[in-house]
Structure 1
Amino acid sequence: MCKPFESPATTDDTTLNTAELDRWSNRVARMLLTLGARPGTRIAIAEVPRLEAMVCRAAIVKTGATPVPLTTETALARADYGITTKAGRDLITDPARWLVLDDRSTLLGYLTGSDAPLSEAEIDPARKAS
């Protein structure tokens, strides 16, 4: 599986090296797959801190889905799923299914999920693993 980013993710106060970014995004990708993300679906990222947004973008790419930039209301209408925070979810009124990063159930899923690389069978369950 190709890695969406080859360099570390950095904000003003935090840096994730490539391995950390990879492990974190693997966990988020598995949660997105559970939500229903698949190749061809569109996933928006809204009201997420910069570092988490980088991780989420990597996770979206790993699932085969397409990140949808949130620059207009029409972009939200084209999203099948979304990633946000509790504060961001209160601002979004569209009907897409959202992964709320700071929700207790999301945090529990993240903490108990695997950070191993995703398999082809996880990404495309209809395809048999070879």
Structure 2
Amino acid sequence: MELSYGELDEWSNRWARVLIGRGVGPGVVVGVGVSRSVELVVAVWAVVKSGAAFVPVDPGLPEVRVRELLVDSGAVVGLSVSGVVLPSVVEWLRVDDPGVVVGVSGVGVSDGDRVRRLWVGDAAYVMYTSGSSGRPKGVVVTHGGLANLVEEVRVRFGLWSGCRVSHVASPSFDASVYEWLMAFSVGARLVVAPPGVFGGAALGEWLAVEGVTHCFVTPSVLATVESGALGSVRVLVVAGGGVGGRSWWRGGRRGGSCSMRMGRRR
């Protein structure tokens, strides 16, 4: 699936209005139970536009873990897709069901449309730790914090509209937010890796085929990829697993299209 920014905007606007119609807004948490996909980005964008905070719950996690995250975060409703079965702690709405948004306006959402005004100090999302040292803890990130991050990555990594930014992180890993911001901060193309691509030869092949220019991976994932597979990558960001972020700039000509693309193995 390939989606333009205009299509993404309209699709997510409709769903933001659906959420607002249910009283969802700033100060409220919405569960997003969607695997890495275009629909995941639509769901997240819809929640953000409503003014609420999203909490990602990877459908691949054990049911008990998903249930705990939803209860602990206080989520009031959830966004998912058809065919995914999640704990009925909240009502799940399917963002791939066009029938739900029939007649709903796709016009941009403003503070006048929201249940209340959105402030920079309001929560943008809640990300849970792995729980390796005990019970998982929810970390709240505000809109103000994200605004600073957007400006930092835009300048530091030489981002421009012609970039092709990879999206390979799990929704439950905050690196996914980092990937989205790298692409959307400049209107670049976000290339979404297929569900089965996580590392190794599959990741290397996908990076090369899709011509990815900006890539974010953990050290353990990078160790599985042959260096020759990174030929198209101009900026490589390595972070996570206790290692600080690093980047390498390889230069190159600027240019390209602005859209989002769901990658497929070829």
CA contact (8 A) 2:43 2:95 kept: no
RMSD, aligned CA: 2.4
- Residue in structure 1 matching 2:30, options 43, 52, 56: 43
* 3-state SS in 2 of match to 1:44: strand
- Residue in structure 1 matching 2:111, options 115, 120, 124: 120
How far residue 86 of structure 1 moved from its aligned partner, in angstroms, is 3.9
Measure, in 2, the Cα distance between the counterparts of 1:123 and 1:48. 27
CA contact (8 A) 1:32 1:99 kept: no
Measure, in 2, the Cα distance between the counterparts of 1:61 and 1:101. 14
Structure with more contact order per residue of length (Cα contacts < 8 Å, sep ≥ 6): 1
Unaligned ranges ≥5, structure 2: 59-64, 118-266
Q: Normalising by structure 1, what TM-score?
A: 0.70
Residues 58 and 102 of structure 1: CA distance in aligned 2, closer, same or farther (over 3 Å)? closer
Measure, in 2, the Cα distance between the counterparts of 1:116 and 1:48. 27
- Matched AA of 1:92: L
Residues 125 and 39 of structure 1: CA distance in aligned 2, closer, same or farther (over 3 Å)? closer
The CA deviation string for residues 17-42 of structure 1, in whole angstroms up to 9 with x for no partner, is: 22211111101111111223111111
The number of residues matched between the two structures is 109
- Residue in structure 2 matching 1:67, options 33, 54, 58: 54
Q: Which range is displaced more, 114-123 or 48-57?
A: 48-57
- Residue in structure 2 matching 1:84, options 80, 85, 90: 80
Q: What is the 5 A alignment of 1:14-53?
A: 14-47=1-34, 50-53=37-40
Measure, in 2, the Cα distance between the counterparts of 1:97 and 1:37. 13
| Structure 1 position 110 matched with structure 2 position 84 | no
How far residue 81 of structure 1 moved from its aligned partner, in angstroms, is 1.2
How far residue 49 of structure 1 moved from its aligned partner, in angstroms, is 6.6
Measure, in 2, the Cα distance between the counterparts of 1:59 and 1:31. 9
CA contact (8 A) 1:48 1:85 kept: no
Between Structure 1 and Structure 2, whose CA radius of gyration is higher? 2
Residues 80 and 101 of structure 1: CA distance in aligned 2, closer, same or farther (over 3 Å)? same
| Structure 1 position 94 matched with structure 2 position 88 | yes
CA contact (8 A) 2:70 2:89 kept: no
Q: Normalising by structure 2, what TM-score?
A: 0.37
CA contact (8 A) 1:44 1:82 kept: yes
Q: Which has the higher strand share?
A: 2
Measure, in 2, the Cα distance between the counterparts of 1:100 and 1:49. 15
Identity of aligned residues (%): 30
